[in-house]
Amino acid sequence: MSPRSVRGLARRGLGLLAAGLLTAGSISAVAEEPGRDRFDTVVIDPGHGGDDHGAAGGDGLREKDLVLDVSQRLASKLEALGMHVLLTRTEDVFVPLEERTSIANDARAKLFVSIHANASGLRGVRGIETFFASAEATDESARALAEQENRAFAGQGLPAAAADPLVAILGDLLANEHLHASQEFARMAQQRLVPDANGHSRGVKQAPFVVLMGVQMPAALVEIGFLTNAEDETALRSEAERERLADALASAVQSFRERYDARRGLAPAVDRTGTRGENEDR
């Protein structure tokens, strides 16, 4: 089957799905809702939680606690910029994969940001890296990392829908549709997280993270440092570094939002302080 006919099949499938999921009334309500395409909702996904501790530092810092704190700081900053923010967890609990992706999909979020911290068998390995989803990993370490992060969900199984071939095709098409935007956001995030050429940037990479492949919107996963590196762990313990990381990610989301709205011919959103976006020159 040619790519075009697959796409056609998927389009028809989308229509059938939409018809099955929405009543005629709700379709017209969605179509007429003003500003429905404006960038509004962001879902932040603090990795792990509950019995799943994630990575652990030599000095005892746990990934699940660190990423929840950074996620909550980021959420406050985005809310102050006038965005609607949902967290996939707000406390130390295990949240299954399908619940994390459902929260984002049900909210029709415009961006999904998963926050994790890294681990390596090599104590000298350190730095920040940002991922967007693809079936193929950038390199062996990216593949191993995705496998490790995906393992956190293995006990829960994959979403039942993933077993349906049509849904799988649709998922691929939807993911490809957002591939460019996901890459764009990942680059913005990485540039702001490590703005200094002398900083410890491991770059923007791709890997098959299940949590990124399950969402129907631009999505990235940020590894904010290595808990297995003493210097990274010390920095990540500090309030200053956590604030810096949250500020950098908030700035990336704000820039992504401005481009998102500008592409749709929408004027920049006015935030709560009444100021306009930084790229606005009127």
Cα–Cα distance between 58 and 241 in angstroms, integer?
A: 18
Asked if 245 contacts 224 with a C-beta cutoff of 8 angstroms, the reply is yes
DSSP string, 66-112: HHHHHHHHHHHHHHHTT-EEEES-SSS----HHHHHHHHHHTT-SEE
Site map (CB under 5 A) of Zn ion, residues 70-109, x = contact: ----------------------------------------
The structure tokens 């609607």 sit at: 84
Closest-CA residue to 119 (of 277, 7, 14, 236): 236
Cβ proximity to Zn ion, 56 vs 230, nearer residue: 56
Query: In this chain, which stretch among 52-60, 100-108, 237-245, 274-282 interacts with Zn ion, using CB under 5 A?
Result: 52-60
Name which of 149 and 233 has its Cβ closer to Zn ion.
149
CB of 64 to Zn ion, least distance (A): 8
Nearest to 183 by CA among 256, 276, 127, 96: 256
Q: Does 54 bind Zn ion (CB under 5 A)?
A: yes
Residue 116 binds Zn ion (CB under 5 A): yes
Residue 142: DSSP 8-state = H
Interface mask toward Zn ion for 1-40; x: CB under 5 A: ----------------------------------------
User: Of 148 and 216, which has the nearer Cβ to Zn ion?
Assistant: 148
Of residues 123-152, which lie at the interface with Zn ion (CB under 5 A)?
A: 149
Residue 188 DSSP SS3: helix
Q: Which of residues 242-281 bind Zn ion (CB under 5 A)?
A: none
Contact of 6 with 77, CB cutoff 8 Å: no
Task: Write down how long the chain is.
Answer: 282
The nearer residue to Zn ion, 105 or 148, going by C-beta atoms, is 148
Interface pick for Zn ion out of 46, 47, 57, 277 (rule CB under 5 A): 47
Q: Which is nearer to Zn ion, 40 or 223 (CB)?
A: 223
64 near Zn ion, judged by CB under 5 A: no
CB-nearer residue toward Zn ion: 149 or 261: 149
**Side by side, which strands form the sheet with 111-118?**
84-87, 41-46, 111-118, 219-226, 128-133, 201-207
**Which residue of the chain is nearest Zn ion when measured via CB?**
116
Return the number of the residue (49 or 54) whose C-beta is nearest Zn ion. Answer: 54
Min dist. Cβ of residue 244 to Zn ion (A) = 20
How far apart, in whole angstroms, are the C-alpha atoms of residue 51 and residue 4?
45
Could you say whether residue 225 binds Zn ion (CB under 5 A)?
Answer: no
Task: Kindly list the residues in this chain that would bind Zn ion in the complex (CB under 5 A).
Answer: 47, 54, 116, 149
